[in-house]
Amino acid sequence: MKTKKHSQTECKNSAKKNSGLVRFLTASLFVVSSLFTATNLQAACVDNKFDNILETTPTSQFSLNSDGTATDNKTGLTWMRCSLGQTWDGATCTGTATTTTWQTALSLAESTTFAGSSNWRLPNIKELGSLIEETACGNWQAKINQTVFPNTHLFGHWSSTPDIKNSANAFILVIVYEHNTAAVPKNESGVSLRLVRSGQ
């Protein structure tokens, strides 16, 4: 699996576009925890030694369907290969991911029909966490299998999981930092969404 590396210019442009979310993540976010981390993988990441480290989400784990979806044969979940707002062109995801608030994300998921199915939903935070690729290193490298999920939005993806400690917040998956989950205000509008459904 080859992971896409982003240039400093691309990162700066993305950061500028998502400046509100970036400031919140870097300055005032309470980063809760990484749901899917392992000490040996983190150590290998620091040392850049992956010879004996297996990918946590290998491409072989997924059935890549012709309709722009991917079925995770480990979890049984079927995912949109593109973030909502992007277009699957048969080979990759093009266009710009939709970013929105949590409540709007829930509504968009409920009203979306794609690949002949209308039972799409926001994944919970554990389901989203199952997509993290631990062997992808670096704060500006997307920690996701970009063969399966190309051109993934770098910052956050909404989950359906609210923060039980603060009803004004909900959890997102942050795929560009070392920690993967964070609670952010539900009215934060700089977060994208990737939809999921059960079964093929």
Q: What residue has token string 């080979």?
A: 91
User: Domain ranges in the chain?
Assistant: 8-198
pLDDT tens digits for range 44-99: 455 444 455 688 899 999 999 999 999 999 999 999 999 999 999 999 999 999 99
Beta bridge partners of 84: 86
| Tens of pLDDT, residues 141-162 | 668 898 999 998 777 899 999 9
Long-range contacts formed by 168-172: CB under 8 A, 24+ apart: 170/102, 171/32, 171/125
The pLDDT of residue 186 is 97
Which of 35, 71, 41, 43 lies closest to 55, judged by CA? 41
176 vs 46: CA distance, rounded Å = 15
Of the listed ranges 8-12, 156-160, 170-174, the least confidently predicted one is: 8-12
Note the Cα 63 to chain centre separation in Å.
18
Residues in Cβ contact with 99 at an 8 Å cutoff, skipping those fewer than 6 apart: 18, 85, 153, 189, 190, 191, 192
Question: Pick from 72, 78, 77: which is nearest to 58 by CA?
Answer: 72
What does the alpha-carbon distance between residue 143 and residue 132 come to, in Å, rounded to a whole number? 6
**Other Cβ atoms closer than 10 A to 134:** 21
What integer best gives the mean pLDDT of the chain? 79
Q: What is the C-alpha separation between 168 and 165, in angstroms, rounded?
A: 9
Question: Is pLDDT of 43 > 50?
Answer: no
Burial of 17 (0-12, 13-18, 19+ CB in 10 A): middle
